[in-house]
Amino acid sequence: MPDPLSTNVQNLKASETVAISNEAKRRKAAGEDVYDLGVGEPDFDTPAPAVQAGIQAIQRGMTRYPPNVGIAELRRGIAGQLSRMSGGRSVDPDQIVVSSGSKQSIFNACFTLFGSKDRVLIPSPAWVSYPQIVHLSRAEPVLVPGDVEWGLKVSAKDLDRHHTTSTRGLILCSPCNPTGAVYTLPELRSIAEWARKHEVWIIADEIYRRINYGSGPAPSLLDLPDELLERTVIIYGASKAYAMTGWRIGAALAPPHLTKAMAALQSHTTTGANHPAQWAAAAAFTDDKVDGEVNRMVAAFRRRRDYLVERFRSAAPGIEFVEPHGAFYFFFRVDGIREKDPVTGTSFCEQLMKQEGVALVPGGAFADDRWVRLSYAVSDAELEAALDRILRLIQRLESARAA
């Protein structure tokens, strides 16, 4: 028997999204005919001005330790971007901490805000890493199931049902991974008012904010008045809208005392994010050409979303799904395919990989195994071919039920 590990990791499970992606990559490398619609990672290349800025940073010798909280150019670039998206509201770059991906930003925020005996509400289905990060902070993740009739979103009333005097935080993701649902501004306002009343911190994960199929970026807590934002952390980053997942640049915007604590924490863990990558991201957030690229990528995601929805509606009309308004995920329900011996997200994904060579993520990874998540951040050709296979499996399972 190996020595027991620390209680720090007693609840720790490795990320299922990362594991599925690694497995799909392994199969592809081994020459298997596999489509990976599992991982949420844009298929586009990082826009050229950001790449150039990264290369030049290396050539200019920006290869030493960065400032721990991030280079001023990047913090200003992020503040400017957040400000522009929210009608020019003032955003202070000094309240931004740059990290190695927004995953670390969320970790920094949770670790500095929460501790044992605290409860943190997480609307569910929820992105895999939220409950794990809350556990690592020794707090208790409390899943709040979203309403099926309402894109699996939660309301202040739902939060209220799970609230106790120990509730200290709420992690809200909009546009949402894994569902693609987007909270409207009135919905955000009502949740922010609820949080203020109960003195609950909101960690607003807005990493997908620009990938929104309404007009402009998705509504944000930053669109609300200051008095509703006293206990708010905004999470943003370069990975998704800027196709920069591998550069590992994320950010948190928070009140000054929290910014200071997150910076101190990070000074003992990473000493700041990769230095050349920060220069690349600074270009991404400020260069007009990149802005145009982002708009083109979002238009491509929208086109794929429309295609996907249309194909599901025509070829699998019995399959329920969440109307996707943002991010690049499509969340569909499989438990109704067979009434007796219901299909689960896990069994569906296993059969799909084995019989059709397509990787998707079972809803169980997001705490609801009645569903399956598909990422359409893949090329049009891959999406079309993978969809043929997915719909073929659904039709096979449905005809087995009818027989």
Binding partner at 207 among ligand GLU, ligand PMP, none, C-beta below 5 to 8 Å by kind: ligand PMP
Please tell me whether residue 127 binds ligand PMP under the rule CB under 6 A. Answer: yes
Binding partner at 291 among ligand PMP, ligand GLU, none, C-beta below 5 to 8 Å by kind: none
Stretch that binds ligand PMP, among 98-106, 266-274, 358-366, 390-398 (CB under 6 A): 98-106
Please tell me whether residue 205 binds ligand PMP under the rule CB under 6 A. Answer: yes
* CB nearer to ligand GLU: pick between 91 and 243: 243
* CB nearer to ligand PMP: pick between 114 and 236: 236
For residue 361, the minimal CB distance to ligand GLU (Å) is 7
For residue 178, the minimal CB distance to ligand PMP (Å) is 8
Q: Which residue is nearest to ligand PMP (CB)?
A: 101
Rule CB under 6 A: choose which of 102, 155, 220, 274 binds ligand PMP.
102
Rule CB under 6 A: choose which of 21, 155, 174, 177 binds ligand PMP.
177
| Contact (Cβ atoms closer than 8 angstroms) between residue 186 and residue 156 | no
Based on C-alpha coordinates, what's the Rg of the chain? 21
Binding partner at 102 among ligand PMP, ligand GLU, none, C-beta below 5 to 8 Å by kind: ligand PMP
The whole-angstrom separation of Cα 205 and Cα 230 is 16
Binding partner at 15 among ligand PMP, ligand GLU, none, C-beta below 5 to 8 Å by kind: ligand GLU
Residue 222's CB is within 10 A of a number of other CB atoms, namely 23
Please tell me whether residue 125 binds ligand PMP under the rule CB under 6 A. Answer: no
Please tell me whether residue 54 binds ligand PMP under the rule CB under 6 A. Answer: no
The whole-angstrom separation of Cα 207 and Cα 236 is 5
* CB nearer to ligand PMP: pick between 120 and 337: 120
Stretch that binds ligand PMP, among 28-36, 95-103, 193-201, 216-224 (CB under 6 A): 95-103
Residue 257's CB is within 10 A of a number of other CB atoms, namely 9
Full strand arrangement of the beta sheet holding 119-124: 96-99, 250-253, 232-237, 201-205, 167-173, 119-124, 140-145
Binding partner at 46 among ligand PMP, ligand GLU, none, C-beta below 5 to 8 Å by kind: none
Stretch that binds ligand PMP, among 62-70, 100-108, 183-191, 303-311 (CB under 6 A): 100-108
Binding partner at 18 among ligand PMP, ligand GLU, none, C-beta below 5 to 8 Å by kind: ligand GLU
* CB nearer to ligand PMP: pick between 101 and 217: 101
Binding partner at 232 among ligand PMP, ligand GLU, none, C-beta below 5 to 8 Å by kind: none
- Interface residues with ligand GLU (CB under 6 A) are 15, 17-18, 39-41, 127-129, 177
Rule CB under 6 A: choose which of 38, 93, 141, 237 binds ligand PMP.
237
* CB nearer to ligand PMP: pick between 102 and 124: 102
Binding partner at 173 among ligand PMP, ligand GLU, none, C-beta below 5 to 8 Å by kind: ligand PMP
The one-letter code for the residue type at 380 is: D
Binding partner at 39 among ligand GLU, ligand PMP, none, C-beta below 5 to 8 Å by kind: ligand GLU
Please tell me whether residue 330 binds ligand PMP under the rule CB under 6 A. Answer: no
Beta strands 140-145 and 250-253, pairing class: unpaired
Residues that bind ligand PMP (CB under 6 A): 40, 101-103, 127, 173, 177, 205, 207, 237, 239, 245, 250
